[in-house]
Amino acid sequence: MAHGKRKAPQPASKRTYEVYLMRHGAAADHDSAAFADDSKRPLTPEGKLKLRAIAKGLSRIGVELDWIVSSPLLRAVETAGIVAEEVAPAAAIDQCEALVPGQGSAQKVLGFLAQHPERTRVLLAGHEPSLSNLVSELVGASHTANFAFKKGGCALVTLEEFQPPGLLVWWLTPRLLRKLGS
């Protein structure tokens, strides 16, 4: 055995997670008597069409997903389904109560995601103002930061081991994503 300096133990590398946050597409009017139950408001036909174009834009810029998690509200579930069809047909799809407006926090969402640490590329389909607050918490910004999502807008935050603060990598408007998809 050769004598020499021992190598210092290397720290275990931390896993990096890509967390895509997307606001649901345009939904039926919440003032309509037909959709008095807000949780059952579906996407409009135009909302679905625009979301398909947005999802094609995500695909064109190289987004790959292992997991799609939505709020259980119908418009977010439909948004998640369209993204799955266009971007990641093999991705697991789940619902998370912590994505319902007023029901969650970054800690609850991250706790849910941590149940599957092998899924490192995750899209969250949710609502405003919850998504704005979630981005603020994930990147360590104050709650006064203006991270407003338009319908179909998407942002990418990277995190190590689901631990904030993360890094806001990009923030794309629905219009830009549609143009990228065409």
Beta strands at 16-23 and 154-160: parallel, antiparallel or unpaired: antiparallel
**Which pTM does this prediction carry?**
0.89
33/23 Cα distance (integer angstroms): 24
Asked if the structure places residue 2 within a domain, the reply is no
pLDDT, position 171:
94
Residue 11 located in a structural domain: no
Ranked by mean pLDDT, which of 2-6, 94-98, 136-140 comes out on top? 94-98
- Whether 5 is covered by a domain: the verdict is no
Mean of all residue pLDDT scores within the chain:
90
Say how far residue 95 (Cα) sits from the centre of its chain: 12
Structural domain includes residue 168: yes
**pLDDT of 81 higher than 70:** yes
Q: Does residue 23 form part of some domain?
A: yes
One-letter-per-residue 3-state SS of 124-161 = EEECCCHHHHHHHHHHCCCCCCCCCCCCCCEEEEEEEC
What is the rounded CA–CA span in Å between residue 4 and residue 177?
A: 56
Count structural domains, the chain. Answer: 1
Q: Which amino acid is at 140?
A: G
Q: Is the pLDDT of residue 10 over 60?
A: no
Identify the sign of the CA torsion 41, 107, 137, 157.
Answer: negative
Whether 171 maps to a domain, the answer reads yes
Question: How much is the pLDDT for 152?
Answer: 97
Is there a contact between 65 and 88 (Cβ–Cβ < 8 Å)?
yes
What local confidence, expressed as pLDDT, does residue 4 receive? 53
Q: What is the pLDDT, as a whole number, of residue 102? A: 86
The residue with greater pLDDT, 80 or 30, is 80
Highest mean pLDDT among 32-46, 68-82, 124-138: 68-82
Is residue 62 helix, strand or coil?
coil
Instruction: Give residue 138's domain range.
Output: 16-27+36-181
Q: Which helix (H) or strand (E) holds 58?
A: helix 45-60
Does residue 85 carry a pLDDT above 90?
yes
- Kindly state whether residue 127 falls inside one of the protein's structural domains: yes
Q: Residue 168: which CATH number?
A: 3.40.50.1240
Q: What average pLDDT does range 140-161 have in this prediction?
A: 86
**Res 12: pLDDT:** 60
**Residue 57 placed within a domain:** yes
Report pLDDT digits (tens) over 91-128: 999 999 999 998 888 899 999 999 999 999 999 999 99
- Tens of pLDDT, residue by residue over 17-69, are 999 999 999 998 877 666 777 788 899 999 999 999 999 999 999 999 999 99
